[in-house]
Amino acid sequence: MSVRRPLHRGRVVVLAGGVGAARLLRGLAPRMAPGRLTVIVNTADDDVFHGLNVSPDVDTILYTLSGLSDPLRGWGIDGDTFAALGALGRYGEDTWFQLGDRDLATHLFRTRHLREGRTLGEVTAMQARALGVRVRVLPMSDQPVRTVVETSGGRRSFQEYLVRDRAREAVRSISYAGIRAARPSAGVVAAIAEADAIVFAPSNPFVSIGPILAVPGIRQALRRAQAPVVAISPLIGGRPVKGPADRMMRAHGLPPSPLALAEIYADLLSGLVVDTSDRAFAARLEARGVAVAHLDILMRSPMRAAAVGDAALRLAASLQRRRGRLAG
Ligand code: FO1
């Protein structure tokens, strides 16, 4: 199977967090006809470090789609060095959030253009063009939204919770500061309305997909969309490939399983792609009106990621045909 052959001609919108979404897109993007893929990216884990605006999920998607990303970590630039960070440390600055020397250029560029009055959407488009990314990458919003995690130890910014404290503290609640004033960035609502398939990447439903859905106007746009919404599970046998999604589900009183995803995305979801090890949930999901496809969803290689993306788009196409028959 060649991952270079464009297979999908419809318009596809992917809602994306960071590393899990980037892995999917590494396989899916080469399968898409040019100009047909739009990615709406979470910006609620953005933050300011050393006076610079950092948008980790936007960066992870851009670095992955341009072939720059560090394949092992999943974030940052492959082969980057950390001399500037070391020098900042000598001034006594906090250096737990590791900004590489080359990565710093991305944040310097973003910060300057935001200060000069450009929107995050405009700056992201400039960066995508400069890096040769052909996929349309849209931040969920131009307005600042920040995930706040209330933990057993107190209130944390998302990066403090995840990176500084290594997600060790028990999560009590999660909120999105600034969400009421946020609006979908330019192109987001239209892309959803015009899509033939909408895919939720295998990203954390509370801190990656959740903030995107909470931007006023986005959930409504998804409910109105003609296209079916298909999610790819971030869980395999009740455990996330990366990150604290399972613990966050438990904190919300939901045992970590595909059923919890159906519950969280209830009003939106038409289909769910799960791992073969979770296929026993299919009957209960189907009974709730969620169509299921199952395969090995661990994306060890671009080839496996292409297979997962294909499964999601095939499931979406079958749902569209079913809807067409019902409408007809
Ligand atoms: N993740 C880490 O685990 N440690 C880091 O020091 C770190 C630095 C970093 C710098 C720039 C960037 O774009 C991403 C970075 N990430 C780091 C990833 C990021 O914290 C998370 O993966 C996302 O916010 C969650 O999607």
- Compute the distance from residue 277 Cα to the ligand 1 centre, in Å: 29
Return the pLDDT at 321. Answer: 79
* pLDDT tens per residue, range 53-94: 999 999 999 999 999 999 889 999 999 999 999 999 999 999
How many Å apart are CA 173 and CA 168, to the nearest integer? 14
Over 70: is that where the pLDDT of 5 sits? no
Q: How are beta strands 171-177 and 146-151 bridged, if at all? A: antiparallel
For 258-288, the pLDDT digits (tens) are 999 999 999 899 999 999 999 999 999 999 9
**What b-and-e string marks burial along 13-23, b requiring 16 or more CB atoms within 10 Å of the CB?**
bbbbbbbbbbb
Give residue 322's region: left, alpha or beta (phi > 0; psi -120 to 50): alpha
What's the CA-to-centroid distance between 98 and ligand 1, angstroms?
A: 7
Reported confidence tier of residue 323, pLDDT bands at 50, 70, 90: confident
How much is the pTM?
A: 0.96
Cβ–Cβ < 8 Å for 260, 288: no
Choose among 61, 16, 51: nearest CA to 202. 16
CATH of domain 12-327: 3.40.50.10680
**Mean pLDDT (whole number) for 180-187:** 98
Which residue puts its alpha carbon closest to atom 25 of ligand 1? 18
DSSP letter assigned to residue 32:
B
The candidate with the shortest Cα–Cα distance to 105, out of 155, 152, 62, is: 62
Q: Which atom of ligand 1 is nearest to the CA of 103?
A: 11
State the pLDDT at residue 324: 64
Pocket of ligand 1, beta carbon within 6 A? 17-19, 45, 54, 56-57, 59-60, 75-76, 97-99, 103, 159, 162-163
- Average predicted confidence (pLDDT) for the chain: 95
Closest residue by Cα to atom 1, ligand 1, is 163
> If pLDDT is split at 50, 70 and 90, which confidence band does 316 have?
very high
DSSP state of 150: E
d(CA 29, CA 92): 42
pLDDT band with cut points at 50, 70 and 90 for residue 208: very high
What is the structure's pLDDT at 95? 98
The atom number, within ligand 1, closest to the CA of 18 reads: 26
Residue 17 Cα: closest atom of ligand 1: 26
CA–CA distance, 202 with 30 (Å, rounded to integer): 18
CA 182 to ligand 1 center in whole angstroms:
23
Which residues lie across from 146 on neighbouring strands?
177
Spatial separation of the C-alpha atoms in residues 255 and 252, rounded to whole Å: 9
The pLDDT assigned to 6 comes to 60
CA of 75 to the centre of ligand 1 (A): 6
- Is residue 214 over pLDDT 50? yes
Q: What is residue 168's predicted lDDT score, i.e. its pLDDT?
A: 95
Mutation to probe ligand 1, out of 75, 97, 140 (largest number of atoms < 8 A from CB): 75
Mean pLDDT of 312-328: 79
Pocket test for ligand 1, best of 93, 163, 164, 241 (most atoms within 8 A of CB): 163
132 CB-side CA count, 13 A: 4
Instruction: Quick: pLDDT tens for 235-248.
Output: 999 999 989 999 99
Sketch the domain layout of the chain as residue ranges: 12-327
**Would you say residue 328 has pLDDT above 60?**
no
CA of 56 relative to ligand 1 center, distance in Å: 6
111-126: pLDDT as tens digits: 999 999 999 999 999 9
pLDDT of residue 238: 92
Instruction: Over range 177-195, report the average pLDDT.
Output: 98
Q: What is the pLDDT of residue 4?
A: 53
Give the number of the atom of ligand 1 that is nearest the alpha carbon of residue 100: 10
Q: Which atom of ligand 1 is nearest to the CA of 208?
A: 26
Q: Which atom of ligand 1 is nearest to the CA of 204?
A: 26
Length of the chain: 328
Q: Which of 54, 248, 20 is nearest to 139 (CA)?
A: 54
Centroid of ligand 1 to alpha carbon of 76 (angstroms):
7
Residue 204: strand pairing partners: none
> In 29-95, where does DSSP find H-type helix?
56-65, 83-90
Residue 3 predicted with pLDDT over 90: no
